A and B are shown apart, each in its own frame.
Chain A
Amino acid sequence: MRTEWVLLAALAAFSASSTVGKAAGVTVLHPEPGLKCMLLDAHDLQATVQSQLPPIRSAPSSNAPMIGYPSEIVLVRDPLQQQAGYVAVVRINGQPGWIAADKLQPWHAMNGRPGKCIPTLLSNGRLGTHIEQ
């Protein structure tokens, strides 16, 4: 009996610690300097599957390996770094990359109201965004 209860308690503790560790209470730590928000162009915002989106590549070339896909908000270097029709970006996980410049537009909130998009570091270690309105 004692062994069973110890096992149950261990399972409950593991479950609880995993909950706390991965989801609860994400907060904004601070604005991330050297980045600014841009938005995917109107066509790409309508994508229903990710493969329809412009890829993020490891170098400013269509021949460079693809390293991922953007979300609707793209974090670009500030000041803007452009090369061969590509713009330097930083992915949510901090990885640098390049995306075709003609696939981006200046950021605006989806609700059309004035606001400011601030690239931030979140407490879960991801880069993210904070939108002030």
Chain B
Amino acid sequence: MLATIAAQPAARAQVPATLNGAPIQVTPYALEPGVPAITIPAGAPTTTPGDTGTGTGSGTSGTGTSGNALNTLLSQSWGAEAITEAEALGVNPTALAATCVVESGCQNVGSSSGSSATGAFQMQSAAYQEGLQTALAANPSLASQVVQGAAGMSDPATEAIAASGYLMQANTALTNGGISDPTVLDARAYYNFGPTAGVAIAAAAPSDLMSTYISSAAMAGNNISATETVGQWQASVSSKIGNAASQSVLS
């Protein structure tokens, strides 16, 4: 939350500043008796790309540390620009950060073996195009920041626009499915498993097997074991993105 507030002064009409590392933290020079120390741990992103999923690259092999998805995004040279873009679309920057943390550790990686998904958000071409169209329809002024053609998928700031658009689609789809104010965790199911299974998993009992809701191909493509439950999958995602899991997709 502090990081969100710290990012907000970057008004949309201004040139975003590139941050190096976590946002500036409050450093007390005198300790208040009885007040616990507050520390924000640094993340440990890896360069492991995600696995193949339905709508996007969508694996769950990133390694974001609890509570610091936004910090992980901000530590990238393109992170501040991505956050400004998300805000310009009404997308919660933490939702965008959580997406790249899970997909790639926010590293601009190529495609993993057997997948066409690429980039920090590990988007497949169709999802990238859909997301970009949605985003630019919502805010045409972002077009000036888009790297045109297929090269855009390898430009993290451009892919961030597409990923934000895709999160907007997820929010709409989940809402259309009857889920009001979808969370980032809800959107992960949509991002990974598409519009039918994604919504169903958001309404599934935690003890149910994932295999009862998604196809064997989706199970294999997302490295989900036959015995993994909905609750275990959700916990696995939450462990990577921390309290971002419970936040709303839109800001």
Count how many chain A residues have C-beta atoms less than 8 Å from C-beta atoms of the other chain: 54
- The digit string for A32-65, where 1 denotes a CB below 8 A from any CB of B, is 0000000010001101111001000000000000
Asked if B65 is at the interface (CB within 8 A of a chain A CB), the reply is no
A14 to B211, CA, bound (A): 36
A130 to B149, CA, bound (A): 44
**B208 touches which one: A18, A24, A92, A129 (CB < 8 A)?**
A129
A95 to B238, CA, bound (A): 29
**A131 touches which one: B180, B198, B208 (CB < 8 A)?**
B208
**B176 touches which one: A21, A69, A122 (CB < 8 A)?**
A69
Q: B179, A93: Cβ atoms under 8 Å? A: yes
Count how many chain B residues have C-beta atoms less than 8 Å from C-beta atoms of the other chain: 50
Q: A12, B38: Cβ atoms under 8 Å? A: yes
Can you list 22 contacts pairing A with B, beta carbon distance less than 8 Å? A2-B32, A4-B26, A5-B32, A8-B2, A22-B247, A23-B185, A23-B238, A23-B246, A47-B194, A50-B173, A53-B195, A69-B177, A72-B200, A73-B213, A93-B178, A93-B179, A109-B212, A110-B212, A111-B212, A126-B178, A131-B205, A131-B213
A50-B176, A68-B176, A130-B204 given; name 17 further pairs at CB < 8 Å.
A8-B2, A19-B245, A19-B246, A23-B246, A27-B206, A28-B205, A48-B54, A49-B195, A71-B198, A71-B199, A91-B178, A92-B179, A93-B179, A110-B215, A115-B212, A130-B207, A130-B208
Mark A residues whose CB is within 8 Å of B: 1-2, 4-5, 8-9, 11-12, 14-16, 18-24, 26-28, 40, 44-45, 47-50, 53, 68-73, 91-95, 109-111, 113, 115, 120, 122, 126-131, 133
